[in-house]
Amino acid sequence: MNMTRLGLALIASLAVTIANAETPAVNFDQGIDASAILAQAKKAAATEKVSVPAGKDIQANYYRRTQPDCVTVTFNPDSAPASPVFHLQSTEYVEECYNTGDPRHGGGRQCYERPGYTYRESAQVTLRDRKELLPWEYDAFRVCLDGPWLDIRALETAYEYKLLRGGSNNGSFVLAPVKKTPMRPDPLGILGELSPALKLTLTDRWASYYAGESVEIKWTLKRHVKGWFDEKISDGTLNAPAGASYAVLLGGKVQAGKSYYVAYSIRRLGKVSKDSWTKELESNKVSYAPASLALNK
Same domain, 148 and 64: yes
pLDDT digits (tens, 9 = 90+) for 7-55: 433 333 333 333 333 333 333 233 323 334 334 444 443 333 333 334 4
Domain boundaries, position 76: 56-180
Domain boundary among 180, 203, 218: 180
- Residue 97 falls inside a structural domain: yes
Same domain, 176 and 212: no
pLDDT for the residue 211? 96
Instruction: Look at the chain and report how many structural domains it folds into.
Output: 2
Which residue(s) pair with 179 in the sheet? Answer: 160
The HSE-up count of residue 35 (CA atoms within 13 Å, CB side) is 10
Residue 244 has pLDDT above 90, yes or no: yes
Same domain, 202 and 166: no
Same domain, 196 and 277: yes
Same domain, 112 and 225: no
Same domain, 123 and 197: no
Domain boundary among 127, 154, 180: 180
Which residue(s) pair with 56 in the sheet? Answer: none
Same domain, 83 and 194: no
pLDDT digits (tens, 9 = 90+) for 48-107: 333 333 444 444 556 678 999 999 999 999 999 999 999 999 999 988 887 877 888 887
- Residue 16 falls inside a structural domain: no
Same domain, 291 and 208: yes
- Residue 49 falls inside a structural domain: no
- Dihedral (CA of 279, 285, 291, 292) sign: negative
- Residue 17 falls inside a structural domain: no
- Residue 9 falls inside a structural domain: no
Asked if 285 and 257 touch (Cβ cutoff 8 Å), the reply is no
Of the listed ranges 35-44, 114-123, 155-164, 247-256, the least confidently predicted one is 35-44
- Residue 207 falls inside a structural domain: yes
pLDDT digits (tens, 9 = 90+) for 171-225: 999 999 999 999 999 999 999 999 999 999 999 999 999 999 999 999 999 999 9
- Residue 87 falls inside a structural domain: yes
Same domain, 111 and 167: yes
pLDDT for the residue 20? 38
Same domain, 170 and 230: no
DSSP string of 13-41, one letter each residue: HHHHHHHHHTPPPPBPGGGPBPPHHHHHH
pLDDT digits (tens, 9 = 90+) for 108-136: 878 888 888 999 999 999 999 999 999 99
Domain boundary among 119, 150, 180: 180
Greater confidence, 251 or 142? Answer: 142
- Tell me how crowded residue 233 is: count the other CB atoms within 10 A of its CB: 19
Same domain, 197 and 240: yes
